Copies of this chain bind each other. A is one copy, B any other.
Amino acid sequence: MALKLKYYYDIMSQPSRALLIFLNVAKIPYENCPVALRKGEQFDDEYKSINRFQKVPCIIHNDFKLSESVAIFRYLMREYKIPDHWYPKDSKVRAKVDEYLEWQHINTRLACARYFQAIWLKPKMGQTVSENEVNESKFYMEYVLDLFENIWLQDGNKFITGNEITVADLLAACEIEQTKVTGYNACEGRPKLQKYLETVRAETNPFYDEAHKLIYKLTPKSKL
């Protein structure tokens, strides 16, 4: 029987890893469809017909195509039988998960991705990065990581919205993990964040480590 869910992703994409961990933890059967960003496969015509925005991740469920990781999470929660804690039905708890999911776009997501691109990806691709870009991206990321430590984790809960893991935690952790590749230690001076990342990892292993295999490999040894 052909699997009805096709998952298109690259493990160097943070939201791709978050969804990959989720599919495995939640035991959702899927067809593995890697898209190698390093080879520019997202720009191929074939992939353009799958995701008109030429980005990862995306899914095809039966014939239904969907991009945007947060939209995909919500869709999967409706289409499959998934433990409620991942995206709680309780209106107020769900609203708090939503609050993080929306907040993260121009905060954790944009800030960590920009720093990663300025320090690691662009130089790797032979692009020149100005001192100004490096400094600005670091300043912005540290500001956001401090908000994460001091606001989102201030209540002493195990996870962002309480003591049960949600999809918000997967997106947050995968975003922050990626910055390690640059040699930056996001946990230094942020004890709540350190404990938090360890908790998300423990809760979702072995899938968390599997998804982060390449990230760990690329991280300078002193920072592991």
Contact = CB atoms under 8 A, between A and B. Distances in A.
Contacts of A101: 71
A149 interface: no
A95 B66 contact: yes
Nearest to A74: B98
A79 B92 CA distance: 10
Given A53-B151, A151-B53, A79 B91 contact: yes
Contacts of A71: 95, 98-99, 101-102
B102 A70 contact: yes
A192 to B, nearest CB: 15
A110 B140 CA distance: 15
A3 to B, nearest CB: 19
Interface string A94-135: 111011011101100110000000000000000000000000
- Chain A: interface size category: 20 to 34
A119 to B, nearest CB: 19
Nearest to A107: B53
Nearest to A58: B99
A68 B103 contact: yes
A86 B110 CA distance: 28
Contacts of A110: 106, 110
B68 A91 contact: no
Contacts of A52: 151
A101 B95 CA distance: 15
Interface string A45-70: 00000001100000000001011111
**Shortest Cβ-Cβ A-B pairs, 4 listed:** A105-B105, A71-B98, A68-B102, A75-B95
Interface of A: 52-53, 64, 66-71, 74-75, 78-79, 91-92, 94-96, 98-99, 101-103, 105-106, 109-110, 147, 151
